[in-house]
Copies of this chain bind each other. A is one copy, B any other.
Amino acid sequence: MTTPFRTFIMAHPRLVEDVFTDAHLARLRALGDVVIHEGDVLTDEDFERHVAPADIAMGIFDMPAERLARCQNLKALVNSEGNFLPNIDYRHCFEHGIRVLSASHVFAEPVAEIGLAMAIDLGRGITEADRLMREGKEEYGFAANRDARPLMRARVGLIGFGDLARALLPLLKPFTSTIDVYDPWVPALLIEGAGCRTVALKTVLAESDFVFVLAGVTSENAGFLDKRAFESMKQGACLLLLSRAAVVNFPDMLEAAASGRIRVATDVFPVEPVAADDPVRRTPNIILSPHQAGAMESTLNAMGASITADIELIARGLPPAVCKVAQPETAMRFRSMPVSKS
């Protein structure tokens, strides 16, 4: 007698109902048993009872080798947060064919959408013009556009060529065919296959009208965009920080904006929430966005859709095809980031 397929869901820090629609849950239940674990604590008893026998376990809880060894049916661990975290013994998983999945790719699309608009906003002055009109200081027409910089036919540079860059590309394509990419982790073959050019970091900085910072932070690149980098940019160029605050030297970036050297939009801050008296709140030439680029209701639904689709594949003995899958070569390399990009 075979046991039914068992899916364990601990959605924290999300709510189950934010991630999974009723239709998603019905599809999971069609595969077998589904246990939904509310709250943010998993006791040893919970583990023994619900996780140890599971085929699929979703959640952020400790999974050292000892616990993994007790999971004889486990086919996949699903990360409910977004970033791969050091809560799992990845080596054990790789050796035993246990997939570690994350649906963090769903954040790319909403971030790309708002990033495109912020780029045009910086170049054309939407947020600033609205502020000026509310203060009664606006100019009109041509006079309002002295510093305008259209995205159309601009030279665009991308720092980082992961999910976010790939979600941004189709949105940028109607605007420009000159997209330069710097990403030392990605083969030129893939960058050029996507219609972009592979260039050095200094080229992206020195020659782009718009620079999108899309790189995740690693132990190697923290703060690599600093005063020197900003000074190498074109006068009035637009910088969009959409990934992680830690990849830039934040004070240097604010100073470059304040001085009018460059224009900046940022969705991320070194500490969130930002302190009430943080001077960033009064910095000119910068669009401030409270880490809202990624997480919408529709994004979490997309997360649920992705996870459900991959669980269905795994239940049929097929490889996951939608979520990101932790890879042996990199699983331990990414810095843990308990403040998620969402």
Contact = CB atoms under 8 A, between A and B. Distances in A.
Interface in A127-170: 127, 129-134, 136, 138-142, 144-145, 148, 150-152, 170
A49 B171 CA distance: 52
Contact of A110 (B94, B132, B152): B152
A270 interface: no
A243 interface: no
Given A134-B282, A150-B113, A189 B292 contact: no
A296 B150 contact: yes
A136 B329 contact: no
Contacts of A173: 174
Interface stretch (A59-67, A224-232, A318-326): A318-326
A1 interface: no
Contacts of A298: 150
B133 A126 contact: no
B175 A171 contact: yes
A22 interface: no
A31 to B, nearest CB: 14
Given A113-B152, A171-B174, A130 B132 contact: no
Contact of A144 (B124, B190, B290): B290
A186 B173 CA distance: 25
Nearest to A341: B141
Nearest to A282: B134
B292 A141 contact: yes
Given A177-B195, A281-B134, A309-B189, A126 B289 contact: yes
B190 A133 contact: no
Determine how many copies of this chain the complex contains: 4
A313 interface: yes
A294 B140 CA distance: 11
Nearest to A286: B130
A49 to B, nearest CB: 28
B322 A144 contact: no
A129 to B, nearest CB: 5
Interface of A: 18, 94-97, 109-110, 113-114, 116-121, 124-127, 129-134, 136, 138-142, 144-145, 148, 150-152, 170-171, 173-175, 177, 185-190, 195, 272-274, 276, 281-282, 287-292, 294-298, 300, 305-306, 309-310, 312-314, 317-319, 321-322, 327-330, 342
